[in-house]
Structure 1
Amino acid sequence: MSVEETKKQPGNSPVKETAALARTMIRAAQKGALGTVLQPTGHPYASLLLIATEPDGTPLLLISKLALHTKNLTADQRATLLIDATGLDADPLSGARITLIGEARPTTSATARRRYLERHPSAAGFVDFPDFSFYAFDIATAHYIGGFGRIIDIPGGDLLTDVAGADALIEAEPGIVEHMNADHADAIGLYATKLLGGAPGEWRMTGVDPEGCDLVLGARALRLPFAGRVTNGEEARKELVRLVGVARSQAA
């Protein structure tokens, strides 16, 4: 959803407008800069990590206990996560970025492994090493900068997707993703190129949640929003069929 499209939504406040954009940024991020408290000096320590998300949008990290940032988190779970959406902008400082502020802690979530590996298949080579484990980044608040003069703080709750009542969708998600990638790769390509402006290529679907789905091609990720909230596999199917119809009409 573009800035202008978001502003047209009825009842949107500046915080809600920005939160909608920020949720898209987080879902589309492939990597981020994790800030932890360096032990024992207390200095800020930044490291580059791959990112995935839970169904509700909580960022997921896969990190080794041998890494310095993990040792820092063992002593102090406070952290920041910088997501840069400036891309290849000629003037990056005019682009959007967001710093998430909260705590990173180990998670035993049932969805963490499959969602992370769908997003980053290369991690399959080390995900089962005994020193690696998944961490969830619990967002307390966030600081969004959308260019010069466009700065706003966003409550952490506004950056999460409501998954209440969507257990059926979360359970059906692996099958939806597998089916779409195996049997409807052409539809995924149309979503990416006709609806989201992506380059042609072998796009994959990596996740589905009540607000939309995530598409990936190499290092590029895109977020496809749904027109309305979906809570089960049948509702998701109907929306994906509707969206491919829209994409085909644009391709005609």
Structure 2
Amino acid sequence: MTARQLAADEARRLIRIGRKGVLATNGSNQEKYAPGWPSSSLVTYATAWDGSPLFLLSTLSHHTQNAIRDSRVSLLVDGTDRHINPQEGPRVSVVGHLRLENDTRLHRRFLAKHARAKLYAEFSDFQFYKLTVEKLHYVGGFARALWISKKNAVLPKSAWQDIAVSEESILRHMNSDHQQTIRLYGTKLLKKQGRHWSLIGVDPEGLDLMCGQTVHRLPFDSSVVDAEQCRKMLVSLAKQARDL
């Protein structure tokens, strides 16, 4: 694996772990308050199966209005919290176009990660969007800055289309029949406290789990491309957890 491919995997892992970021948009010269100036806003997001960020945004918001006029946006995801010197920590800027997203399966993925958004998801001014990725700018630490092309930034359709079809049935099966296993994923593999765990998302690169109101990410050791590979990975993770 090349350094650029490794950086792409690290960047996508950082994006999948995150739940919030800073969305930068381009202001119109005709707007009233800051004509022609760039604008940045705190937003919450989830990810599609390929790693593209998903949003639930109000058309009344300044950043949404900017993106409707000019779809070019950038999302900054910051992974530096645990570093005394933030400049030594990882961060990634996702560059692309903000587009309306009509796939209700992706709506479910967003709402699973941001359950409180269900309170306003049906409001007439709120709509789901996906950031169609053109490139990433990943900084893995001091002197580790790389531009990553679209080809490496997101997973190809062949890597996620079967998982997309199977995700909801996997979630139903695991949450119905294997609650103790999910709890072991959280308490043993992630070393987190809590009794009531659920599986809320599956993609080719890992699992999203929830305990209480907190979302946790459990990455896979290697990617899976279909339901059978996913089943084998879940069994392997369960064995690892029981052996600890």
- Judge same fold: TM > 0.5, yes or no: yes
Q: Which amino acid aligns with 2:76?
A: L
Per the TM alignment, residue 109 of structure 1 is displaced from its structure 2 partner at its CA by 2.0
Per the TM alignment, residue 168 of structure 1 is displaced from its structure 2 partner at its CA by 4.1
Gaps of 5+ in 2: 30-34
Q: Matches of 1:133 and 1:79 in 2, distance apart?
A: 17
Q: Which amino acid aligns with 2:193?
A: P
Q: Matches of 1:106 and 1:145 in 2, distance apart?
A: 28
Q: Which digits, 9 at most, give the CA deviation of each residue in 1:93-140, with x for residues without a partner?
A: 211000111111111123221111111111111111111001110111
**Counterpart for residue 6 of structure 1:** none
**Counterpart for residue 199 of structure 1:** 192
**Counterpart for residue 32 of structure 2:** none
**Counterpart for residue 8 of structure 2:** 19
**Counterpart for residue 25 of structure 2:** 36
**Counterpart for residue 133 of structure 2:** 139
Instruction: Confirm whether residue 100 of structure 1 aligns to residue 94 of structure 2.
Output: yes
**What do you get for the CA RMSD once the two structures are aligned?**
1.9
Per the TM alignment, residue 198 of structure 1 is displaced from its structure 2 partner at its CA by 4.1
Q: Is the 8 A contact 1:162 1:210 kept in 2?
A: no
Q: TM-score, normalised by structure 1?
A: 0.86
Q: Which amino acid aligns with 1:200?
A: Q
Percent identity between the aligned chains? 36
Q: Matches of 1:245 and 1:121 in 2, distance apart?
A: 30
Instruction: Confirm whether residue 50 of structure 1 aligns to residue 44 of structure 2.
Output: yes
Q: Is the 8 A contact 1:163 1:210 kept in 2?
A: no
Q: How many residues align?
A: 237
Distance 1:91 1:220, change over 3 A: farther
Gaps of 5+ in 1: 1-11
Q: Is the 8 A contact 2:50 2:160 kept in 1?
A: no
**Counterpart for residue 216 of structure 2:** 221
Per the TM alignment, residue 61 of structure 1 is displaced from its structure 2 partner at its CA by 0.6
Per the TM alignment, residue 210 of structure 1 is displaced from its structure 2 partner at its CA by 2.5
Q: Which digits, 9 at most, give the CA deviation of each residue in 1:48-86, with x for residues without a partner?
A: 111111111111010000000111011100100000111
Q: Matches of 1:198 and 1:39 in 2, distance apart?
A: 48
Per the TM alignment, residue 226 of structure 1 is displaced from its structure 2 partner at its CA by 4.8
Greater mean deviation of Cα atoms: 141-150 or 161-170: 161-170
Q: Matches of 1:57 and 1:133 in 2, distance apart?
A: 20
Q: Matches of 2:119 and 2:152 in 1, distance apart?
A: 35
Q: TM-score, normalised by structure 2?
A: 0.89
